Amino acid sequence: MRERVDQRPILILRESSRPSLKWMLAGTTLLAALTVDLALNAVVRARLDVGVFHELLPGIGLQHVKNTGVAFGLFAGQSVLIIAAPIISVIVILAYIALETRTRLAGLAGGLLLGGSLGNLVERVGSGEVTDFIRLPYWPNFNLADIFIVAGVALVAAGIFSAPREGEADREGGSPASGAPDEPEGLAAPDDPDFRD
């Protein structure tokens, strides 16, 4: 009689750890983006005078401006919309992370979006304005938080328009058709004769 080796707890642990991994990745990305953004904004406020343009390349440089709107200076002066936009954005991003089944995509894209959104929100709540300092031709000044938001949106869009790679659904915990985890190869079913005395 072959001794029964039950691997099901291991499978359940691996499947249940994926949501935790997704949120850990999102949290790590969020903290990294938020820390870098706030630290660099603090340096800009301390070192660059408001309105002075420091050219790095033709038409491209650093210019410290105070933004009372949202990303890229949009909706400046519209206080109700400015307060509501970050709150709605965070709720939508959290829902995206929860619903997206691709662990790395959800964690990285969601973390970048949260880091950028919260970076601008923290400054706005603290001082009523956001520090923007990157200057490009024919474009409103912006900061790292705006870059993180754009990068996160680009990743989400890429995920929407790209088909999952072969076998990706199985690694995420099941086949697309059934939504249930596939039985690992070589694992005997409960009614297998080898399980019986």
Over residues 152-158, the mean pLDDT reads: 96
Q: Pick 9 or 125 by higher pLDDT.
A: 125
Residues paired with residue 132 on neighbouring β-strands, in sequence order? 65
Query: Residue 132 catalytic?
Result: yes
Share of the chain above pLDDT 90, in %: 52
Per-residue pLDDT band at 164 (split at 50, 70, 90): low
Over residues 148-165, the mean pLDDT reads: 89
Query: Residue 49 catalytic?
Result: no
Give the C-alpha separation, 22 to 112, whole Å: 13
Query: CB of 181 within 8 A of CB of 174?
Result: yes
- In 3D space, the residue among 117, 96, 98 whose CA is nearest the CA of residue 159 turns out to be 96
- Mean pLDDT for all residues in the chain: 79
Which among 6, 37, 132, 170 is annotated as catalytic? 132
Which among 146, 192, 194, 197 is annotated as catalytic? 146
Q: Is the torsion defined by CA of 142, 143, 146, 152 positive or negative? A: positive
Each residue's pLDDT tens digit, 88-132: 899 999 999 999 999 999 999 999 999 999 998 888 888 878 899
**Would residue 63 be called left, alpha or beta, if left means φ above 0 and alpha means ψ between -120 and 50 degrees?**
beta
Q: Pick 138 or 163 by higher pLDDT.
A: 138
Per-residue pLDDT band at 15 (split at 50, 70, 90): very low
Over residues 143-166, the mean pLDDT reads: 88
Q: Report whether pLDDT(177) > 70.
A: no
End-to-end CA distance of the chain: 7
Predicted confidence at residue 42, as pLDDT, reads 95
pTM: 0.71
- In 3D space, the residue among 153, 126, 134, 123 whose CA is nearest the CA of residue 72 turns out to be 134
Predicted confidence at residue 127, as pLDDT, reads 81
Q: Report whether pLDDT(155) > 60.
A: yes
Give the C-alpha separation, 102 to 118, whole Å: 23
